[in-house]
Amino acid sequence: MSEFRIMEIKQSIFADNDKDAECLRQELKEKKTFLLNLMSSPGAGKTTVLTRTIEALKDEMRIGVMEADIDSDVDAHTIAKTGAKVIQLHTGGMCHLDADMTRQGIKGLDIEEMDLAILENVGNLVCPAEFDTGASKNAMILSVPEGDDKPLKYPLMFQVCDVLLINKIDVIEYFDFDLEACKERAKKLNPELKIIPISAKTGEGIEEWAHWLRQEVKTWKEEGE
């Protein structure tokens, strides 16, 4: 028997996505499950950061992961090794998840048993930003090799996120990446944005990130009382 389920999910073209997302968010609050939507371009480090995040928090909360991908199950295998419950969602070619697709995933994950559910969205800086998944909070990863100009090129992604993780900070000396300029560009788009430089490779910044997430999960549960 396989170590995780694979579900084929279809986009619901008729649903009013924003309304559906708001309903899902409310349901999750009542169930006291925090849903994090994690977005980035392919290769920025979502799966590696998730592995680190699970290591940091698994002794204090029950964590489930939904790995969304067009067709593969590579990332679900990686996450399954951490011991966290994981399901693989296949979007059948779609470059993002909407609220109805997320709801289908949540049903497969047995959300009642989770304090923290994490959705690794499809790798893309454009489409996922346009669809509210119903998540409690949105996080994005920008990695150093992608360049400090990405807030200028993909503003919506930076606007819809609550937290920006600037990953692969361990290799910054090899790239012309101006950390301060990047932060300034992101803050101009979204003054509330929390920005944490991290390295999923060395562990730098992971405790600050885990602390942010821990506080958000706690607040979410209190609001659901």
Q: How many CB atoms lie within 10 A of CB 137?
A: 19
The CB-of-89 to ligand GDP minimum distance in angstroms stands at: 14
The residue within the footprint of ligand GDP, chosen from 98, 167, 182, 193 (CB under 6 A), is: 167
The residue within the footprint of ligand GDP, chosen from 17, 37, 40, 102 (CB under 6 A), is: 40
Provide the 3-class DSSP secondary structure of residue 14. coil
Q: Name, in order, each residue with C-beta under 8 angstroms of 41's C-beta and a sequence gap of 6 or more.
A: 123, 124, 125, 143, 146
Question: What x-and-dash track marks residues 169-188 binding ligand GDP by CB under 6 A?
Answer: -xx-----------------
Within 13 Å, how many C-alpha atoms sit on residue 65's CB side?
Answer: 30
Judged by CB, which is closer to ligand GDP: 43, or 155? 43
Q: Give the H/E segment covering residue 143.
A: strand 137-143
Task: State the DSSP code for 126.
Answer: S
Q: Give the largest Cα separation in the chain, rounded.
A: 50
- Binding partner selected for residue 136 from ligand GDP, Mg ion, none, CB under the kind-specific 5 to 8 Å limit: none
Judged by CB, which is closer to ligand GDP: 150, or 168? 168
User: How many angstroms separate the Cα of 22 from the Cα of each of 26, 95, 131, 161, 178?
Assistant: 6, 21, 12, 16, 37
Window 73-102: residues binding Mg ion (CB under 5 A): 75
Nearest of 43, 46, 45, 63 to residue 55 by alpha carbon: 63
The residue within the footprint of Mg ion, chosen from 33, 40, 47, 91 (CB under 5 A), is: 47
The residue within the footprint of ligand GDP, chosen from 45, 64, 128, 151 (CB under 6 A), is: 45
Judged by CB, which is closer to Mg ion: 88, or 136? 88
Window 121-140: residues binding ligand GDP (CB under 6 A): 123
Q: How many residues bind Mg ion (CB under 5 A)?
A: 3
Residue 58 near residue 84 (C-beta atoms within 8 A): yes
Q: Is 43 in the site for ligand GDP (CB under 6 A)?
A: yes
Note the residues at the interface with ligand GDP (CB under 6 A): 40, 42-48, 123, 167-168, 170-171, 199-201
